[in-house]
Structures are given as C-alpha cells and as structure tokens.
Chain A
Amino acid sequence: MCIAVPMQILSVDGTMATIGVEGLEQRASLALVPDAGVGDWVLVHAGYAINILAADDAQETLSLLAELGEWGAQDDPDADVG
C-alpha cells in the first residue's frame, strides 16, 4: 500500500499535474506539495505527489530499480517524454 514511485512533473494545471517517467504519463494532484512546479521530481502515491525529491535522489531510486531489472525503458525510443 505504500507503493510510491518517483516521477517528474511535466505540466501543471491548477492543482493537478501531468507527471511522467520512462514514457509513462499520469495525472496526479499537487495538493500535498503546493511548492512543486514543472521539472520537479516527486514521489507519487495513490494519485498524489507526497513530496518533492532532489533530482539526483529520484535518479538514485530509479537506478536502483533499473539494477534490479525492475525498470528499463532506457533504450526504448518511445520513452522520450517531451
């Protein structure tokens, strides 16, 4: 139940944001992180960003997931979310 994934804020509209990582995009509420903005990395749980992560901290979690083979769209050309 405490699953939470680092994702990056791609765009904001009101209190909602489009967040993405490795080609996956989702909508999440920023109600719990009022200071977050585009480009910030956030931890997402149950459709809400629950805190802001430093970029290298987010990358560290993603790298750990990748090392475990739990992740891995790095060589997927479609994973480029722009």
Chain B
Amino acid sequence: MRTSAEALRGLAADLAAEAGPGGTFMEVCGTHTMAIARYGLRELLPPGVRLVSGPGCPVCVTAMRDLDTVVALCGLPGMTIATFGDLVRVPASRASLAEARAAGADVRVVYSPLDAVELAAADPTREVVFVGIGFETTAPTTAAAVVEARQRGVRNFSILALHKTMPLALKALLELGETPIRGFLLPGHVSVITGSECFAFLAADHGVGGVVAGFQPSDILEALLMLVRQTAPAVDNQYTRAVQPQGNPAAQALMDRVFEPCDADWRGLGLIPGSGLRLRAELADHDAAVRFPVDAGEPLEPAGCRCGDVLRGVTDPAECPLFGRRCRPEAPVGACMVSSEGACAARYRYRGLDD
C-alpha cells in the first residue's frame, strides 16, 4: 500500500539517498503546511533537507489594513458579513470578527460564496458582503458567485475582493533572496486552476525548480523526491491526477471576466504590484470597496509579532519569541497562529513530544 508507513519510509529512504547536499525547500500552500505537520513528515526527512513554510496561507498574508476594513464594515447598519470560517478569530488591529459578532455585528460563516449570494437573496433588506480571500483556487468561485448574483439580480450582494495570486509573490520572495531555496513544493489546487505551466518562470527566470504536489503524505514525499532528482531547474507535476499543464481554462476565463490584476499588500512581503485581484469597473455594483468605503483607521501590528518573517520562511515558528508562550491557539497574537493553515498553528498543534 502506497501510504503505509513502510512505503513512506521507503520514499524517505530514497530521498535520503538522493538528496545530495540537501537544501531548503519551501512549500507555499496552507494545506501543504497542515498536511506536513499533521503527518509529522519532517520527522521522515533526511538531515540536510529542510522544509520551510512560505506565504501560502491566504488568511495569514492578508494585511492588517484589509482585516481592519472587514471589521469596520461589520459596524455598518444593516450589514451582514459572510466569510469563510478561517477568518473569524484572526485578530485585527482592534478586534476580531468573532469579537465584533459578540458585540452585535452580523457575521456569518459560509462554506461557499454561493451561500452568501443565497443569504442576500433571502433578505433584500440587508446588504451582504462576502469577504473574498484565497488564492487562485478560491478566486474563480468568488468570480462565479458575482456572475450568478448579477444574473439573478441580487443587488444586495457584494464582495470585498482580497484575493491574491501566487506567481508574483514567489517572484518577490526569490528577489528578496533572504533564504537560498533549492526548490518549491507548488500548490496542488491552485495549479488545478492555473495549470503547472504558470510556474515555469521559476526555473526559466530564477533557476529554481518546483514540483506541483498533491496533499497526501505520499504525494508530498514523491514531489520532494522529484525535486532532488532534477538535474537542472525545472517545473514538474507530481499531482497529475488533478493538474494539467494548462489548468482549467473555463475557470481562468471567468476570473478574467470578473477580476483584473491590482496591487496587493501582503503581510510579510509588503506591496507586490499586480499580485491582487480587484473587480472590474463594470462590476462596481457588486464591489464592497466602492459601495461601502470605510475608514479602517491606522493598522496596529501586535508588538513582537514575527508573522511577516515566518511567512517569508526566514523565521521558523519555534524561533518566534512569542510562540507557545504569549502566542498560542487559544490566545493568538498573530494570524499565523490562529489561522487553521498558519505555519505557527500547524507547528503548535501537531508538535512532537520533544518540541
């Protein structure tokens, strides 16, 4: 059985035999972060092979100013904020959404942006704003929801577009050059949409290899093995069961119809031009940023928080002085600890006995 402990140890042994000088590999997907932590895959890696987390958790990379905007929107009369559950406990400058809800704001957790459209359709007296966070896996679903709302004439539905795209962030990360990265584990489900080809520039322009990986432990170890086996930088695909080189053209077309690139502020990476998605002008009727401008106030970063460094893979969660002490899942200081896919949350939750 491929996933049995022996099979995985077999993959790990191959990795040890072939890793050569080792190196630092970076994963850039929160779901990979969780999978690696949950199955204790780091324990199976040979010495010299280091796996770090990058800016792959969409909630974690959302800038404080944007979080504050969401919280400020909560306070508008007649407003319902619909959001994925991941965002609810993240501390913004002055309060989290959970705290805003306890103080009377109407905050609803939804599983799908379509649920938010239904909420709006069910009660035309309220305005429903769906908080659109996530990378290219999720952006098409938000796009489809906007199109649906428009077609059905659901005018009280809008989105706060906070989606970001991966390739320019990886480029920015490499250009910072803080950590020599031998290769990337590339996000499996982002690649379902974008296609593996969209990451080819990593090898072509930056000389860094990458392999698109699935989410089972065997997928991740196989991808690492493919990485160490590359004789020259290349972008390969381990997750062939789900990912094609060209991705999902229908989803890409829908994204293009609804969104256009814009500048985006990433926690940890700062402003990356063209790395965000905003609604096109003709869809302003469904753009919460246009319809409900709010003053979010000055963003306040929590003192001592190292989330930015963690997101660039420069600081290991355990190296943050707040980790496990002042910053724990039940009392988080920063997004990386509270998000279900944050590197710190993963490290804390799935820590070994000696950690």
Contacts and interface: CB of A to CB of B under 8 A. Distances in A.
Judge A-B direct contact (beta carbons within 8 Å). Answer: yes
Interface of A: 1-4, 29, 31-35, 43, 45-48, 50-51, 53-54, 57-58, 60-61, 64-65, 67-68
Interface stretch (B92-100, B134-142, B289-297): B134-142
B119 to A, nearest CB: 13
Given A31-B254, A65-B216, A68-B216, A47 B141 contact: yes
B3 A32 contact: no
11 contacts: A1-B30, A1-B84, A1-B135, A2-B188, A4-B192, A29-B141, A35-B250, A46-B134, A48-B112, A50-B192, A51-B244
A1 B134 contact: yes
B114 interface: yes
Interface residues of B, number: 48
Main secondary structure of the interface of B (DSSP, over half): loop
Nearest to A6: B242
A66 B329 CA distance: 29
B325 interface: no
Given A45-B189, A46-B112, A64-B2, 7 more contacts: A1-B31, A1-B58, A3-B31, A46-B138, A50-B137, A57-B242, A64-B219
B141 A46 contact: yes
Contacts of A61: 214, 216, 241-242
A64 B216 contact: yes
Interface of B: 1-4, 29-31, 57-59, 84, 86, 111-115, 133-135, 137-138, 140-141, 144, 147-148, 187-190, 192-193, 214-219, 240-242, 244, 248, 250-251, 254, 341
Given A4-B189, A61-B241, A67 B114 contact: no
Contact of B111 (A4, A46, A67): A46
A64 B241 CA distance: 12
Nearest to B134: A1
A26 B61 CA distance: 30
A29 B242 CA distance: 18
Given A50-B251, A67-B2, A31 B147 contact: yes
A64 B141 CA distance: 27
B4 A29 contact: no
Contact of B141 (A32, A43, A51, A68): A32
A34 B111 contact: no
B248 A33 contact: yes
Given A2-B190, A67-B1, A51 B137 contact: no
A51 B248 contact: yes
Nearest to B114: A47
B192 to A, nearest CB: 5
Contacts of A3: 31
Please give me the 7 A-B residue pairs with the lowest Cβ-Cβ distance, nearest first: A47-B112, A57-B241, A67-B3, A2-B189, A31-B144, A2-B31, A64-B216
Contacts of A29: 112, 114, 141, 144, 148
A64 B3 contact: yes
Contacts of B189: 2, 4, 43, 45, 50
